Amino acid sequence: MTVKQHSVVSIHYHLTDESDQVLDSSQGQDPLTYLHGAGGIIPGLEKEITGKAVGDKFQVSVAPAEGYGELDQSLIQSIPLAAFEGIEKVEPGMHFQTQGQDGSARLLTVTAVEGEEVTVDLNHPLAGVTLLFDIEVMEIRDATPEEIEHGHVH
């Protein structure tokens, strides 16, 4: 059995960037199980898993455009410190959950604080990053009709 549209796939993954920094890993945890072809994982990775079999081990390099997008300079903005009402000390590296113009949840990262001015980055933390995955396919099965209808694994 190989991975195709509507397979339920379990993978172990190890994700680094181009400077070999570990960004995420399933090592020591349960494998990631997802419904193939339902947009559950990034497109560049899903494409490479198609056709693979249980036990296959391979590396995938995903360019930003097929990962978390290019870095958008317009999403790096300056806002007044007063906007962080109720936060005792605003420091670079802090993350806040905020709402985008379309109402969706966005992660905001503080990149600099200068006096009353705070520079924030609304890009996804992995935007602009080439993602290097080590993948091992652990399990493949067909999805149930209910799983296909819901678009996720039960």
Distance of alpha carbon 9 from its chain centroid, rounded?
A: 17
Helix (H) or strand (E) holding 48: helix 43-49
Residues constituting the chain: 154
Calpha distance 109→23 (Å, rounded) = 17
Q: In this complex, which beta carbon is closest to Zn ion, that of residue 56 or of residue 147?
A: 147
CB of 33 to Zn ion, least distance (A): 13
The answer for residues whose C-beta is within 8 angstroms of residue 36's C-beta and 6 or more apart is: 3, 4, 5, 6, 7, 8, 9, 46, 49, 50
Q: In this complex, which beta carbon is closest to Zn ion, that of residue 116 or of residue 146?
A: 146
CB of 123 to Zn ion, least distance (A): 31
Residue pointed to by tokens 């007063």: 82
What track of x and - describes contact with Zn ion for positions 94 through 133 (by CB under 5 A)?
----------------------------------------
For residues 132-151, which are near Zn ion according to CB under 5 A?
A: 150
Provide φ and ψ at 76, rounded to 5°: -100, 115
What track of x and - describes contact with Zn ion for positions 15 through 54 (by CB under 5 A)?
----------------------------------------
CB of 11 to Zn ion, least distance (A): 20
CB of 35 to Zn ion, least distance (A): 10
> Contact residues for Zn ion (CB under 5 A)?
150
